[in-house]
Amino acid sequence: MIKITHLLAIATVLTAQYSYAEVLPSSITCGTNIFAPYSFKENNNLTGIDVDVIKEIGERIGIKIILQSHPWKRLLKKIKDGDLDCVFSAFKTPERLEYMSYTNVPIHVSPLMLYTSKKKQINIHNIDDLNGMRIALIRGFKLSNELDNAIKKDTFQTIIVTEIEQTFKMLQAQRVDAVIYNHHVGAYYIKKFNLTNITHTNKPIAVSSAYITFPKKSKLAHLIPKFDEALFDILADGSYKNIMDKYVKTNVKNDLKNKTYQ
């Protein structure tokens, strides 16, 4: 996990003083995808780290946030068409910046780990070492600028599916060589499916920040400073750490030593 103080440092640099002359809406509808432990369903209700953070933001700024879940590609279409008021949590890409406005403060930071079968000896020192590998990815899911560029260059073969569970089951059956996920996401699914034959790189192969976004077609850009301020306060007053502790148990000090190969 990227240390919470790292998120706080980002927030401190990016958060500025704003005036809030605009009238706030009474409610907005925000969409997310199933990406445990950040967002998932429990007893048919959405829950998770990012879900709790979004709810906390709504309470702090006085807006009711109505939650929906959709597959990632459909989420992007909905926000592009202006059918959702916001989406979480999205990495920045040049294409997405054309139709989405981002908060300045990230909702979480993702250390992206490469997961492989223990039966295969795979040594990864940089992205070029992925050459020729078959890697399962979620449709519409972006990784990092470096990894996305490697995909465009056909450095490795991508097998596109719709659900995270599919990628891990394919890896377990050795139908693909690897999958790439946030460290906590990988740990969640390995535990859920008891995938004892899967391991991961010792260090992230990339690190990406994920944000709350608003459609540029809407007139809700004035909410971004409000969301930034609330996110900053959630990080600063310890609420973010409390939310994290509900869903994951991690050695922050050890995780912090993980540096990317880049």
Which overall architecture, per CATH, does domain 110-206 show? 3-Layer(aba) Sandwich (3.40)
Whether 221 and 214 have beta carbons less than 8 Å apart is answered as yes
Q: Does position 9 have pLDDT exceeding 70, yes or no?
A: no
16 confidence band (pLDDT: 50, 70, 90) = very low
Task: Give the lowest-confidence range in 55-64, 124-133, 167-176.
Answer: 124-133
pLDDT at 217: 87
Q: What's the fold here for domain 4-109+208-255?
A: D-Maltodextrin-Binding Protein; domain 2 (3.40.190)
pLDDT given at position 213: 97
pLDDT band at 119 (very low <50, low <70, confident <90, very high): confident
As a whole number, the mean pLDDT across the chain is 87
Position 7 confidence tier, pLDDT thresholds 50, 70, 90: low
Predicted pLDDT of residue 10: 55
Q: What is the pLDDT of residues 26-52, one digit of tens each?
A: 999 999 999 999 999 999 999 999 999
User: Range(s) for CATH 3.40.190.10 in the chain?
Assistant: 4-109+208-255, 110-206
Q: Which whole-number Å values give the CA distances from 103 to 107, 108, 213, 230, 253, in the listed order? A: 9, 12, 6, 11, 27
**pLDDT bracket for residue 141 (50, 70, 90):** confident
- Whether pTM > 0.75 for this model: the answer is yes
Length of the chain, please? 262
